[in-house]
Amino acid sequence: MVSRVIPVDSFDLVIFGGTGDLARRKILPALFHRFVAGQMPDGARVIGAARSELTDDEYRDLVREALTEFIPEDRLPDDQLNAFIERMGYVCIDATGEDGWADLKGRMREDVVRAFYFSVSPSLFGALAERLHEHDVAGPNARIVVEKPFGHDLASARSLNATLREHFDEEQIYRIDHYLGKETVQNLMAVRFGNVLFEPLWNSQYVDHIQITVAETVGVGGRGSYYDRSGAMRDMVQNHLMQLFCLIAMEPPSRFEPDAVRDEKLKVIRALEPVQPNEIVRGQYAGDGEPSYRDDVEDPRSRTESFIALKLHLSNWRWAGTPFYLRTGKKLRARTSEIAVVFKDAPHSIFGGETARHRNVLAIRLQPNEGMTLRVTIKEPGPGGMRLVDVPLDMTFADALGPDVEDVPDAYERLVMDVIRGNQTLFMRGDEVEAAWAWTDPVIAAWEARSDVPKPYEPGSAGPEDAAVMMHREGRKWREIKA
């Protein structure tokens, strides 16, 4: 299966923070892959910008090095690499200073898409927006791309939105949540709204509960000081898990168009009920023989959670009575992201009570081995009477769609090209981000007002025992965390 490549208009893309980790690891490799796919039309260029004093050629060397480090050799043919590097340029700019802007303006071409990727600390977003405007670099149709974190709480997110909107319209602002660029996340919408099979069952009448798990095996590592001010709730739940939750829970939008989709997601967040204290479990990894969370963040008294599990309720007709369980954490047993829709028992068992123990489960794996499994009940083969057994109908996308699917574009490839195309469907709107913070803030405030500490859990486990107890209390069970 060869993927269809949609042509894009020519563009000038400026990456502020073009020498940083994200640019080197994600944005530049993504652009290279799109270049190879034929999506960088003649003249399309990428201009790095940062404080380091580099010439164009020195920046090209940096890009070459980054691509060599982050792209496997067999996907980096010399001729393509050289041709791509030719499209690179560099301007030395301090976001908070006035130098370099005239140079940047001089490099901008008329009549092409102008996009500015803010791959710098969020504290610089305002300064960049202001200077792009003051130095007349942006032009009337420019697009700006802003990275996470978008705010630390509702007040800071509002203030950031207000600053950006002083100089750019909402239609020009692309707030990245890279989860939305993942192929399988978009597949969630295809599965829900492209098949007649699931939607009639997608409600509290048939669904017992839904689990969303994003598990990581890494600890906080070198990001300790940032992470300790954030924690799993801010770093993962408020954005990534909330987005997955919205896509699962939302009503069908009338069209797959930016505001139609984002309106529906917003309604979901607004229908969320406050979380009860006994429906939330926080944890911190702490085991024998390896550094604990508190070692990693160098604060022996830190109360920041590296694991969180919580139960959400939606007050709307579709989902009243069906809980959503979300969990995410560091240093867990396996790196996996999965959404599982657990259906209710069959209403009546004609097999003498046996079917009641067999539940259909639709599991959508975001990583690794992207795909879907539907667990169905069948008769166990053999002469032993009507014995029932659960079997998975397994569809790994790589098997079902052929070997090319292994080259599924990285989320950043899709998202950067959507910016160039002017398609905001997979980007968060300002009101959506604010609504997510408005729900998150009281949960965090309630925790901060308490004196207890997160529950310890063994690195390599499934999280603290209390998370299992929370489910058990309700006669349910977390799905196993496995790669």
Q: Which amino acid is at 259?
A: D
Task: Decide: is 119 part of the binding site for ligand NAP (CB under 6 A).
Answer: yes
Please identify, using beta-carbon distances, which residue of 46 and 470 lies nearer to ligand NAP: 46
Nearest by Cα to 149 from 223, 66, 69: 223
Shortest separation between residue 148's beta carbon and ligand NAP, angstroms = 5
- Number of other residues whose CB lies within 10 A of the CB of residue 221: 10
Stretch of 117-125, 293-301, 354-362, 371-379 contacting ligand NAP, by CB under 6 A: 117-125
Distance CA 405, CA 431 (A): 35
What is the Cβ-side half-sphere exposure of residue 462, based on CA atoms within 13 angstroms? 13
69 belongs to the binding site for ligand NAP (CB under 6 A): no
Subset of residues 92 to 111 that bind ligand NAP, contact rule: CB under 6 A: 93-96
| E strands present in 108-221 | 113-118, 143-146, 173-175, 207-215
Cβ within 8 Å of residue 235, ≥6 positions away: 149, 227
- In angstroms and rounded to an integer, the radius of gyration of the C-alpha atoms of the chain is 24
Residues 40-59 that bind ligand NAP (CB under 6 A): 50-52
Please name the helix (run of DSSP H) or strand (run of DSSP E) that holds residue 437, with its range, or none. Answer: helix 430-448
Select from 89-97, 247-255, 281-289, 343-351 the region that touches ligand NAP (CB under 6 A): 89-97
Contact with ligand NAP (CB under 6 A) among 85, 105, 122, 376: 122
Closest distance of CB 66 from ligand NAP, Å: 11
Phi and psi at residue 74, to the nearest 5° = -70, -10
- Catalytic residue list contains 240: yes
Tell me how far, at minimum, the Cβ of 456 lies from ligand NAP, in Å: 27
By C-beta, is 234 or 358 nearer to ligand NAP? 234
Sole binder of ligand NAP in the list 64, 133, 148, 152 (CB under 6 A): 148
Site string for ligand NAP, 389-428 (x = CB under 6 A): ----------------------------------------
**Which of 240, 313, 348, 472 is labelled catalytic?**
240
Question: 3-state DSSP: the chain helix, strand, coil percent, rounded to 5?
Answer: 40, 20, 40
Q: Which of 9, 21, 56, 166 binds ligand NAP (CB under 6 A)?
A: 21
As measured in angstroms, the least distance from the Cβ of 224 to ligand NAP is 14
Q: Which of 8, 13, 22, 232 lies at the binding interface for ligand NAP (CB under 6 A)?
A: 22
Quickly count helices (H) and strands (E) in the chain: 17, 15
From 12, 147, 413, 418, residue interacting with ligand NAP (rule: CB under 6 A): 147
Q: Are strands 336-343 and 361-367 parallel, antiparallel or unpaired?
A: antiparallel
Euclidean distance between CA atoms 445 and 458, whole angstroms: 27
Total of residues contacting ligand NAP (CB under 6 A): 23
- Give the Å distances, CA to CA, from 253 to 56, 180, 257, 258, 389: 46, 16, 8, 10, 37
Residue numbers at the binding site for ligand NAP (CB under 6 A): 16-23, 50-52, 93-96, 119-122, 124, 147-149
Catalytic residues: 240
